[in-house]
Amino acid sequence: MNDPTNPLLARAYSLSGPEEAEQVYDEWAETYDTDTVDGMGYVAPRLAAQRLAELVAEPAVVLDAGCGTGLAGAELAKRTQLTIDGIDLSAGMLAKAGQLGVYRHLSTADLTKPLDLVDGSYDAVICVGTLTGGHVGPAALDEMVRVVRPGGYVVVTVQGTVWETGGYRAHLDRMVGQGAIHLREATDSPYHEREGINGYLCVLDVR
Ligand SMILES: C[S@@+](CC[C@H](N)C(=O)[O-])C[C@H]1O[C@@H](n2cnc3c(N)ncnc32)[C@H](O)[C@@H]1O
């Protein structure tokens, strides 16, 4: 983070758990897009949406998990006619996403808990920027895979600094070993471009 004068950025990267995350993101919602896209060169939503758009045939229904203000949904809507639902912990972020008019349904949900969604009810999940330090850990990948039908995709970004240390890589390896997914890609990609921070753009084929 290049801007030490923005206390919200600092707090977002040292969250103690879902309660604090909800509070920080509710406060950050108004300036989040400017701070991240313009300020940090946050390209992960565009790159992940681009990749999902290449994979999924229309018509299809996609869940944007940890959708925030809707950056990934907006990028998907530019490229596709997919039906997109969004879930997030923060009502403030969801309110911003709602203003875009690209989501069918938006609702609050905690990705660290079991999701109130039926098995196999989506053709794909996209999750950008949410699998990162102090946010949502690798166990959430199990729920993302559960709600996608066999043959569908989960496209996620994992912030590069926590890929190994946060257990994401090991968790994905375990999921492959259990036969739940085929890890089609885990590509080292630009994430916060202005800060020289990369992430892993992962494509999971759901079995
Ligand atoms: C860095 S933002 C990414 C938002 C959006 N996907 C994007 O790329 O701009 C992280 C998002 O994760 C959400 N979040 C954090 N913890 C969460 C949790 N336990 N369950 C659901 N969402 C969570 C925050 O509210 C925030 O909207």
Other CB atoms within 10 Å distance of the CB of residue 196: 9
Could you tell me the residue range of the domain that residue 43 belongs to? 7-206
> Which atom in ligand 1 lies closest to the alpha carbon of residue 67?
6
Answer yes or no: is 92 within a domain: yes
- Cβ contact 52:60 at 8 Å: no
**67-81: average pLDDT:** 98
**111-128: average pLDDT:** 98
Residue 61 tokens, joined: 């229904």
pLDDT the model gives residue 183 = 98
Task: Specify the pTM.
Answer: 0.97
Q: What CATH number should be reported for the domain holding residue 81?
A: 3.40.50.150
Cβ–ligand 1 contact at 135 (below 6 Å): yes
pLDDT the model gives residue 157 = 98
> Which atom in ligand 1 lies closest to the alpha carbon of residue 112?
19
87-100: pLDDT as tens digits: 999 999 999 999 99
> Which atom in ligand 1 lies closest to the alpha carbon of residue 110?
20
Answer yes or no: is 136 within a domain: yes
Please, what's the b/e burial string for 113-143 (b: 16 or more CB within 10 A of its CB; e: otherwise)? eebebeeeebbbbbbbbbbbebbbbbebbeb
Answer yes or no: is 87 within a domain: yes
Give the closest residue (by CA) to ligand 1 atom 23: 89
Answer yes or no: is 137 within a domain: yes
The structural domain count of the chain equals 1
Answer yes or no: is 31 within a domain: yes
Question: Strand 197-206 relative to strand 148-159: parallel, antiparallel, unpaired?
Answer: antiparallel
Q: Tell me which residue has tokens 């729920």.
A: 143
Query: Which class for 55: exposed (0-12), middle (13-18), buried (19 or more C-beta within 10 A)?
Result: middle
Cβ–ligand 1 contact at 123 (below 6 Å): no
> Which atom in ligand 1 lies closest to the alpha carbon of residue 18?
19
Give the closest residue (by CA) to ligand 1 atom 26: 68
pLDDT the model gives residue 192 = 96
pLDDT the model gives residue 7 = 81
Q: Cα(25) to centroid of ligand 1, in Å?
A: 8
- Cβ contact 65:110 at 8 Å: no
**24-28: average pLDDT:** 97
pLDDT the model gives residue 1 = 43
Answer yes or no: is 2 within a domain: no
Of 86, 154, 88, the closest CA to residue 125 belongs to 154
Answer yes or no: is 167 within a domain: yes
| Bridge partner list, 62 | 84, 124
Answer yes or no: is 130 within a domain: yes
